[in-house]
Structure 1
Amino acid sequence: MAGFDIYSLPVAGGVAALCPLPGRQDDYSADLQRLCDWRPSLVISMTTQAEMVACDAAGLGDDIEALAACWIHLPVADFGVPTPDIEELWRVAADTALATLQRGGRVLIHCNGGCGRSGMAVLRLMVEAGEEPEAALARLRAIRPCAVETEAQMRWAFSGRD
């Protein structure tokens, strides 16, 4: 099984990245240390609480905040897109992420596997930051080919240009 990898790229003057859920593929403590070493200013979790519990990562939010990073939980079902209630939270998360990136900060977004939901969210940030959707997708998939797994996720990510 692959290790805990963080896939990053420049966005809006800062660095955005995606990765799998710490503890999913390896030891939670080792993954958390890798996450800490990456020095994120903001971490957005797109996993459900059940997914976090299954990977012994139920305390991830507290652990991230103990590292002096901001944590936002936006639970989205696997292969899904944000529901209307999560969509409202997305606006706050996106505004925070874009402000962080524009200050030269680092934003890390994860889902369970580090592909679909996290790719969708990173792509949406890229589009909201002013990148052309197709060019942003190509740039994202150059570092993480599995980013954005469904047509619904693609539509949601591209809707950031509206």
Structure 2
Amino acid sequence: MERDENRSTAGLGVGLPFIEVGPSRGRIALGACPGKVASLVEDLDRVAHWGAAAVVTLLGDDELNALRVPQLGAAVRERSLAWYHLPVRDMSAPSRTFEEGWRQHGAAIRSLLLSGSAVFLHCNLGLGRAGTLAARLLVELGWQPAEAIQAVRKVRPGAIQSRAQERHVLGVQHRR
């Protein structure tokens, strides 16, 4: 089930578009980097108020510095949310380095979703990298790849921006 909550989240660019996952009704939300437009505090408060249990950051340290939010991880943890920092290059599919981090943290993120919790994924704009990971999570949780891509693009038009990102999702295998 896809939804687009149209609450005011000016700094995140849009409402928090999300996809419900399975009978537990876990939620995957996608958005722009907190602090990109509005203040980091306001954006993270919105994410926490929405009910996120975790934030997954797909930006590298250089991008966080350029966006003037190098303290993002600490600010997430101050709100008692789990923070996963798994950088992916802009417009690219996840790299070997990402995969190493995913082997360490992917099961925990899937477990949150299967238990009914909400996870907020972001990159710079919440489209390419965040969309790719959202679709990947859906496939890993049992969705068909094409169905996962379609669901993500329905709630976040323009998501999964490059052919490499789309091919990545199409090659993902179901796991729990």
TM-score normalised according to structure 1 size: 0.92
Deviation at 1:76, TM superposition (A): 1.1
User: Residue 172 of structure 2: SS of its match in structure 1?
Assistant: helix
Task: Please show how residues 1-162 of structure 1 align to structure 2 within 5 Å.
Answer: 3-4=11-12, 5=14, 6-12=16-22, 13=24, 14-161=26-173
The one-character-per-residue Cα deviations of 1:35-90 (angstroms, maximum 9, x if unpaired) are: 22122111110011111112221111111111111101011111112221221111
Counterpart of 1:48, as a letter, is: G
CA contact (8 A) 1:46 1:118 kept: yes
The one-character-per-residue Cα deviations of 1:11-53 (angstroms, maximum 9, x if unpaired) are: 1331111111012122222212212212211111001111111
Give unpaired runs (5+ residues) of structure 1.
Answer: none
Counterpart of 2:19, as a letter, is: L
TM-score normalised according to structure 2 size: 0.85
Counterpart of 1:154, as a letter, is: E
User: Residue 87 of structure 2: SS of its match in structure 1?
Assistant: coil
Taking CA–CA contacts closer than 8 Å with sequence separation of 6 or more, which of the two structures ends up with the larger relative contact order? Answer: 1
Deviation at 1:3, TM superposition (A): 4.1
Deviation at 1:137, TM superposition (A): 1.4
User: Residue 109 of structure 1: SS of its match in structure 2?
Assistant: strand
Structure 1 CA distance for aligned equivalents of residues 150 and 94 of structure 2: 23
CA contact (8 A) 1:28 1:56 kept: no
Counterpart of 2:18, as a letter, is: S
Counterpart of 2:123, as a letter, is: C
Q: After alignment, is 111-120 or 142-151 more displaced?
A: 142-151
Structure 1 CA distance for aligned equivalents of residues 42 and 54 of structure 2: 19
CA RMSD in angstroms comes to 1.5
How many residues are aligned here?
Answer: 161
CA contact (8 A) 1:124 1:159 kept: no
CA contact (8 A) 1:21 1:114 kept: yes
User: Residue 171 of structure 2: SS of its match in structure 1?
Assistant: helix
Structure 2 CA distance for aligned equivalents of residues 125 and 160 of structure 1: 9
Would you identify which runs of 4 or more consecutive aligned residues in structure 1 move more than 3 Å?
none
